[in-house]
């Protein structure tokens, strides 16, 4: 037992060796026979993003204000805070101003580039036509930043100024539940409560045998557990399903965001300029658009976001991004007029929530709560979510503080007032105004009707209407937790393959060249963290009906449907293909879990510290 350690420096992975119990190596791993180290904390936060770090800071602020000591631990699956945060963003500082009113006086803050202009372009194959943008996209007072660097800076404040314990390389793998039902869920049903989390094992082979380096996961027992894993987090999925948190909400919908950071010619760099695009290269039936953010230091973040409700299984989000750069507007931006070299510095991908207000689940469960994009607070019209994520963390922290102070004889923490506080806050107002914009594209109005409706609503109605569009009319028990986006995928027989243009270095690049920029690394010979169920059925259904969608959809080349060699399994021969999962390439975007039509792939956490290493 570690006890209530008060150190404020990050606990390294090597520390776990101190808690090993003797074992014989190469034996099959038996969780029931493993002795785990345990640690007692007041609040355990899973995820070191803006929401999780904001919650941790607010808890320690309350400690200072009210005088009662509280132990706060943040578990981050990346090798360091910020390494799994997709970079290049425009931040609305509203929540930051509330959390750290004097942030601008700190010498090291990364919000050095104010947004100075905002505009929108409609792209055809050859033209870039200026069009009005919704007032919500006005970026006056906002900042163009590296979100990875912003999160790293915020974590430094949490750790060094407030004494928050941040443990990178610790991946929350399973919820730690009470031994017996001891509470009620939000609907009044008797249920087990969440009493913390267990981190992932380290040092297992692919066939779940113990290596000499084996270390069992640690159990962090907590009075309150806050899940801040980002969009489609694995523990968040478990909690939502276990406690039926979507009982009164619409299913969540997602988009895939792909980004690149470039160092451009100084003559092409316009610090603080923000551009969003609609139209080409996407078809009229595909929701999405591009963006260009001129950051500080001669850098430009550019990319594309595509709604994962797209119908055509032949679509490749990665190829759409590369094709977009072939447009004359991007060719000019990424060219050089002098001796200054133009360089692509990084590539990244991540799913983001697009469901908005109607897709927010019940936020509290026995012993904990969902914060940030684990719940889904992105304002799609603004294309921003950091401000809402941070505010949700702050509100959850205030409820957690009160719950812990009211703790009597191990009573389960009641986080229900956090759900109420969130819906009484400016986050609710922020999302309510734009609640109908994204779902309007999936109504009988169609794509162009959605554009027209969104223009009228955002410019004039501003959400002041008596209706709220649903993402689906099929409100069944199954659809509440299943992927709505996957259900929109149509058979390959209804579509033609897309002929993408060849790559043109140094403008566009093949996929593996881009993946090399992510710094992705996973320990060799560890269990595959992409759990595929019913492999025979998966190959047969996905190849025959959807032309092996994941082979194109995955932005890291994780999935391949390859020809079966002679003598292979008869079931695979029936499809003519077999599935190869290159899990070492995974950049933790979660697209596979969301989009696979057969819904038989589950993303789970790999060993802590694995995955991408984003910095720009």
Q: Tell me: do 290 and 175 sit in the same domain.
A: no
pLDDT above 70 coverage of the chain, percent: 93
CB-based contacts of 179, cutoff 8 Å, min separation 6: none
CB-count burial class (<10 Å; 0-12, 13-18, 19+) for 18: exposed
- Decide if 457 is inside a domain: no
CA pair distance 41, 18, nearest whole angstrom? 19
Q: Tell me: do 318 and 343 sit in the same domain.
A: yes
Q: For 9-24, write each residue's pLDDT tens digit.
A: 333 333 344 344 445 5
Q: Please report where in the chains the tokens 């803050």 appear, as a residue.
A: 109
Q: For 90-133, write each residue's pLDDT tens digit.
A: 999 999 999 999 999 998 999 999 999 999 999 999 999 999 98
Asked if residue 71 lies in contact with residue 41, where contact means CB atoms within 8 angstroms, the answer is yes
Edge to edge, what strands does the sheet with 128-131 contain?
128-131, 117-123, 273-279, 288-294, 299-307, 254-263, 343-353
Q: For 493-548, write each residue's pLDDT tens digit.
A: 999 999 999 999 999 999 999 999 999 999 989 999 999 877 778 999 999 999 99
- Decide if 24 is inside a domain: no
- Decide if 465 is inside a domain: no
Q: Tell me: do 60 and 84 sit in the same domain.
A: yes
Full residue range of the structural domain in which residue 93 is found? 40-110+145-250+356-433
Average pLDDT along the chain: 91
Which residue, 433, 462, 490, sits at the end of a domain?
433
Q: Tell me: do 56 and 185 sit in the same domain.
A: yes
Nearest to 441 by CA among 249, 255, 598, 246: 255
- Decide if 115 is inside a domain: no
Point out the catalytic residue in the list 249, 540, 589, 598: 589
Nearest to 301 by CA among 151, 451, 149: 149
β-strand partners of 425: none
Point out the catalytic residue in the list 344, 359, 540, 586: 586
Asked if residue 50 lies in contact with residue 377, where contact means CB atoms within 8 angstroms, the answer is no
pLDDT for 13: 33
Asked if residue 126 lies in contact with residue 328, where contact means CB atoms within 8 angstroms, the answer is yes
pLDDT for 525: 92
- Decide if 569 is inside a domain: yes
Point out the catalytic residue in the list 54, 83, 592, 598: 592
β-strand partners of 279: 123
Q: Tell me: do 340 and 360 sit in the same domain.
A: no
pLDDT for 8: 37
CATH number at residue 222: 3.50.50.60
- Decide if 438 is inside a domain: no
Segment holding 310, helix H or strand E = none
Point out the catalytic residue in the list 386, 399, 458, 518: 386
Q: Tell me: do 69 and 192 sit in the same domain.
A: yes
| 589 carries an active-site annotation | yes
Asked if residue 614 lies in contact with residue 148, where contact means CB atoms within 8 angstroms, the answer is yes
CA–chain centroid gap for 445, Å, is 30
Which residue, 402, 433, 464, sits at the end of a domain?
433
Point out the catalytic residue in the list 199, 435, 554, 598: 554
Q: Tell me: do 287 and 404 sit in the same domain.
A: no
Q: How far is CA 214 from CA 205, 265, 445, in A?
A: 9, 49, 56
Number of domains in the chain: 2
Q: For 424-470, write each residue's pLDDT tens digit.
A: 999 999 999 999 999 999 888 878 888 899 989 988 999 999 999 99
| 44 carries an active-site annotation | no
- Decide if 71 is inside a domain: yes
pLDDT for 25: 67
Point out the catalytic residue in the list 350, 435, 438, 552: 350
Q: Is 182 helix (H, G, I), strand (E, B) or coil?
A: coil
Q: Tell me: do 511 and 577 sit in the same domain.
A: yes
Point out the catalytic residue in the list 79, 87, 148, 151: 87
Q: Tell me: do 73 and 167 sit in the same domain.
A: yes
CA dihedral sign, ordered 401, 403, 408, 410: negative
Helix/strand/coil (H, E, C) string of 338-401? CCCCCEEEEEEEEEEECCCHHHCCCCEECCEEECHHHCCCCECCCCECHHHHHHHHHHHHHHHH
CATH number at residue 302: 3.30.9.90
Q: 462-499 burial, b for 16+ CB within 10 Å, e for fewer?
A: ebeeeeebebbeeeeeebbeebbbbebbeebeeeeeee
pLDDT for 11: 37
| 472 carries an active-site annotation | no
CA pair distance 506, 115, nearest whole angstrom? 28
Q: Tell me: do 212 and 175 sit in the same domain.
A: yes
Q: Please report where in the chains the tokens 């380290």 appear, as a residue.
A: 202
Q: How far is CA 195 from CA 179, 222, 246, 317, in A?
A: 10, 5, 22, 39
β-strand partners of 275: 119, 292
Q: Tell me: do 512 and 587 sit in the same domain.
A: yes
Which residue, 374, 403, 433, sits at the end of a domain?
433
Q: How far is CA 465 from CA 434, 454, 460, 569, in A?
A: 11, 13, 11, 58
To 10 degrees, what angle do helices 50-66 and 386-405 make?
40
Q: For 300-354, write each residue's pLDDT tens digit.
A: 999 999 999 999 999 999 999 999 999 999 999 999 887 888 999 999 999 999 9
pLDDT for 23: 54
| 386 carries an active-site annotation | yes
| 373 carries an active-site annotation | no
Token pair for 182: 């001891």
Q: Tell me: do 366 and 350 sit in the same domain.
A: no
CA pair distance 614, 616, nearest whole angstrom? 6
Whether the per-residue pLDDT at 7 is higher than 50: the answer is no
540: left (phi over 0), alpha (psi -120 to 50) or beta: alpha
- Decide if 532 is inside a domain: yes
């Amino acid at each position: 037992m570690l006890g209530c350690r008060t150190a404020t420096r990050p606990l390294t992975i090597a520390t776990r060796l101190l808690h090993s119990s003797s074992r014989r190596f190469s034996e099959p791993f038996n969780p029931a026979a493993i002795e785990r180290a345990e640690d007692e904390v007041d609040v355990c936060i899973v995820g070191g993003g803006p929401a999780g770090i904001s919650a941790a800071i607010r808890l320690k602020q309350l400690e200072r204000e009210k005088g009662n000591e509280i132990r706060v631990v943040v578990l981050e699956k990346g090798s360091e805070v910020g390494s799994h945060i997709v970079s290049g963003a425009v931040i609305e500082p509203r929540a930051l101003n509330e959390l750290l009113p004097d942030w601008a006086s700190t010498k090291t803050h990364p919000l050095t580039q104010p947004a100075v202009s905002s505009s929108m372009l409609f792209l055809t194959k050859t033209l870039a036509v200026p069009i009005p943008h919704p007032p919500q996209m006005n970026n006056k007072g906002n900042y163009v930043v590296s979100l990875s660097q912003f999160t790293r800076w915020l974590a430094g404040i949490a750790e060094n100024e407030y004494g928050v314990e941040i443990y990178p390389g610790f991946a929350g793998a399973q919820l730690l539940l009470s031994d017996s039902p001891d509470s009620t869920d939000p609907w009044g049903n008797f249920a087990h409560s969440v009493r913390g989390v267990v981190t992932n094992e380290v040092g297992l082979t692919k066939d779940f045998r113990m290596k000499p380096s084996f270390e069992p996961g640690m159990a962090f027992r907590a009075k309150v557990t806050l899940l801040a894993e980002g969009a489609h987090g694995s523990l968040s999925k478990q909690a939502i399903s276990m406690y039926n948190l979507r009982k009164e909400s619409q299913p969540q919908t997602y988009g895939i965001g792909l980004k690149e950071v470039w160092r451009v010619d100084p003559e092409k760099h316009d610090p603080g300029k923000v551009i969003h695009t609609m139209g080409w290269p996407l078809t009229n039936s595909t929701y999405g658009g591009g963006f260009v953010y001129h950051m500080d230091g001669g850098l430009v973040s550019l990319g594309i976001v595509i709604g994962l409700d797209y119908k055509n299984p032949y679509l490749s989000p990665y190829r759409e991004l590369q094709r977009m750069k072939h447009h004359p507007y991007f060719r000019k931006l990424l060219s050089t007029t002098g001796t200054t070299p133009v360089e692509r510095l990084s590539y990244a991908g991540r799913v983001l929530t697009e469901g908005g207000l109607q897709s927010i689940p019940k936020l509290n469960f026995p012993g904990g709560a969902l914060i940030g994009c684990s719940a889904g607070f992105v304002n799609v019209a603004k294309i921003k979510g950091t401000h809402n994520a941070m505010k949700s963390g702050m509100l959850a922290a205030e409820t957690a503080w009160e719950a812990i102070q009211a703790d009597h004889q191990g009573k389960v923490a009641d986080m229900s007032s956090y759900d109420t506080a969130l819906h009484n806050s400016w986050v609710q107002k922020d999302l309510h105004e734009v609640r109908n914009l994204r779902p309007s594209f999936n109504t009988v109005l169609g794509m162009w009707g959605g554009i027209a409706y969104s223009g009228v609503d955002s410019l004039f109605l501003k959400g002041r209407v008596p209706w709220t569009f649903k993402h689906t009319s099929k409100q069944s028990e199954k659809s509440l937790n299943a992927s709505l986006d996957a259900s929109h995928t149509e058979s390959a027989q209804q579509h033609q393959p897309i002929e993408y243009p060849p790559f043109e270095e140094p403008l566009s690049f093949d996929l593996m060249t881009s993946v090399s920029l992510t710094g992705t690394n996973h320990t060799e010979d560890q269990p595959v963290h992409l759990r595929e169920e019913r492999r025979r059925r998966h190959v047969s259904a996905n190849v025959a009906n959807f032309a092996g969608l994941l082979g194109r959809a995955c932005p890291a080349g994780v999935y391949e449907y390859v020809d079966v060699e002679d003598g292979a399994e008869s079931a695979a021969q029936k499809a003519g293909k077999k599935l190869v999962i290159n899990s070492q390439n995974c950049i933790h975007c979660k697209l596979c879990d969301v989009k696979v039509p057969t819904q038989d792939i589950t993303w789970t956490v790999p060993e802590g510290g694995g995955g991408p290493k984003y910095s720009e």
